[in-house]
Amino acid sequence: MKKLMNKVAVVTGGNSGIGLAAAKTFVAEGAKVIIVGRRADAVAATVETLGSDATGLTGDVAELTTHNRLVSLINNRFGGIDIYFANAGTNTITPTEAVSVEEFDTQFATNTRGVFFGVQSVLPLIREGGSIILTSSIASEKVLEGHAVYAGTKAAIEAFARSWALELKDRRIRVNVLSPGPVDTPILAKLGVVPEARPEFEAQTAQAIPLGRLGRPEELASAALFLASDDSSFVTGVNIRVDGGMTLA
């Protein structure tokens, strides 16, 4: 039997990378999925790929109006949700002395404020026994060059998760964190890894990962499915690191 039959899930950042892989997995496991993304063309293309069980919403999670529109969509079409996967995020690799106020504010607006107010907005619509999943990063505990601001944004949402796991216990809503290591997604190009530099980048990165390679989006999606489904019915307040052991190295 499919693990998410009759469930409704929201995936922010669901039009690429880990979010897209999770949306595909959730649909394959029987869920109705709402994906939220900033680019209308990418959202529309993803919905077409996922089929009739997918719905798209174009918006930036850093803007509170996006969460308001999401709440209206859920109310009008589904009446409630079972899974909220706060996955959208942004990262700029910059040494501390070069970080601008704009860069700082952009990362915290998307990665931290967007998560907090996204969860706050949908909380009344999450059904009893639901699941909230927050995408963090191993950068919150493993020092990575140029990641100070990004690490701070992710450490904050891990603190949110611990608080929410207790706050929402009476509704049996589980709150957990998914922390990827380096994953082969389009974000690598956004971080400046050009195609001709990929082999060298992958080789260097693999040396820092005990399992010797980058992760695949589908592997993160499998972990998200575990946290979204009843397979993790006795799991709340944890941080699952899907990093090939990189945190240990």
Q: Which of 150, 214, 220, 227 is catalytic?
A: 150
Query: Measured in whole angstroms, how far is the alpha carbon of residue 238 from the centre of its chain?
Result: 15
Using CA atoms, how far apart are residues 174 and 162, in angstroms rounded to an integer? 10
Catalytic (active site) residue 84: no
Query: In whole angstroms, how large is the CA radius of gyration of the chain?
Result: 17
Round the average pLDDT of the chain to a whole number and report it.
95
pLDDT attached to residue 189? 62
What residues pair up with 242 in beta bridges, in sequence order?
180
Q: Are 219 and 242 in contact (CB under 8 A)?
A: yes
Give one DSSP letter per residue of 119-133, joined into a string: HHHHGGGEEEEEEEE
Which tens digits make up the pLDDT trace of 86-143? Answer: 999 999 999 999 999 999 999 999 999 999 999 999 999 999 999 999 999 999 999 9
In the chain, the domains with their CATH numbers are 8-242 (3.40.50.720)
Q: Are 26 and 188 in contact (CB under 8 A)?
A: no
pLDDT attached to residue 205? 86
Which tens digits make up the pLDDT trace of 45-96? Answer: 999 999 999 999 999 999 999 999 999 999 999 999 999 999 999 999 999 9
